[in-house]
Amino acid sequence: MAHVVSSDCIACGACVDTCPVSAITLENQAAVDAAACVDCGACEGVCPVGAIAAE
């Protein structure tokens, strides 16, 4: 199961820097590549607005 990013994302980039497998990209908001995500939850823990959750 991958993590998903809600519209609450403020594009701060904290999750991008935290992801151990580089599964997150950032443009207008973060996006998780479900195929690359290893479901570690690191991104969920660092998001300051709680925009990332397990799918």
DSSP letter string, 22-35: --EEESSSEEE-TT
pTM comes to 0.88
Chain-centre distance of CA 18, in angstroms? 9
3-54 CATH: 3.30.70.20
pLDDT value at position 2?
Answer: 87
- Tens of pLDDT along 1-55? 789 999 999 999 999 999 999 999 999 999 999 999 999 999 999 999 999 999 8
Domain boundaries, the chain: 3-54
Contacts of 44 (CB under 8 A, 6+ apart): 3, 52, 53, 54
pLDDT value at position 4?
Answer: 94
